[in-house]
Amino acid sequence: MRKARTVFGGRPVGEPVLTYALIALTVLAYLVELARPAVVGQFDNLGAALVDADGQQYVDDGGSYPGYQPIGVAHGEWYRLITSGFLHLQQDAGVFGITHILFNLYWIWLLGRILEDRLGRVRFLAVYLLATLGGSVLEMLVAPGQRALGASGAVFGLAACYFVITRRLHHHPLDRNRLIMMFVLWMVFSASFTSWEGHLGGLLAGGATAAGFAYAPKKRQALVQAAVTVALAALLVGLVVLKALELSA
């Protein structure tokens, strides 16, 4: 790649180290899954559920059931909102298997290098994590008893970010319209067998963050961008809190 430069504030980043680091973390998490499959059930995205002594999962209707352990984000396991974005289906998991992680890694590599160059590392990381969080939050709001995992929310967020940023710059190494249309069509087509909530949540969060970065006034650019990041994070966390209260009522 050519020497990187940021266009929305910040210093040049050089090589896309953060993109490579995110890929490495995702691969490392996958290797841990292969060695200890039980970590998937401990760190995937789950809003609320009950498990018995044998690990069987049951619907959590807010009642008290002796002998059953409540688990999930609503019961204090907030880390699942982020850790689930680094886990993937294993190679024996039906039609997807290892292609689940391979497709996500490809898009992180392709879009990540461009966006880290345009945004700088801090802003790029903010987009990635908020998209991951956005996907997990919408999943919890719509289907709190459904398990979900994968970097797809982050990837959809990167696609939305790419669309916004390149539209603002009037420069797009990849055709932005074709790219975003492809992602939207895949979200609709795969809605019956993938987490459309995670895809849509990531897309919206990534796009909103990118818009805040791209259209921040130059005079107070860094301040506005920071405010957008904090406000969106607070909104997502607030939605989780409200849903957790609803589930425990």
> Where is pLDDT greater, at 219 or 23?
23
Euclidean distance between CA atoms 91 and 81, whole angstroms: 23
Q: If you ran DSSP here, which 8-state letter would residue 148 be given?
A: B
**CA count, 13 A, side-chain hemisphere, 206:** 34
Q: What does the block give as tokens for 139?
A: 């999943």
Q: What percent of the chain has pLDDT over 90?
A: 72
Residue of 154, 160, 161 whose CA lies nearest to 195: 154
pLDDT in tens, 100-124: 899 999 999 999 999 999 999 999 9
- pLDDT single digits (tens) 157-175: 999 999 999 999 887 788 8
Tens-digit pLDDT profile for residues 165-217: 999 988 778 888 999 999 999 999 988 888 999 999 999 999 999 999 999 99
Model's pTM, two decimal places?
A: 0.93
Question: Taking each helix axis from N to C terminus, what angle separates 221-248 and 196-214, rounded to the nearest 10 degrees?
Answer: 150
- 114's tokens: 């461009």
- Name the residue among 213, 197, 196, 156 with its Cα closest to residue 179: 156
* Residues acting as catalytic residues: 152, 199
Q: Which domains does the chain have, with CATH numbers?
A: 17-248 (1.20.1540.10)
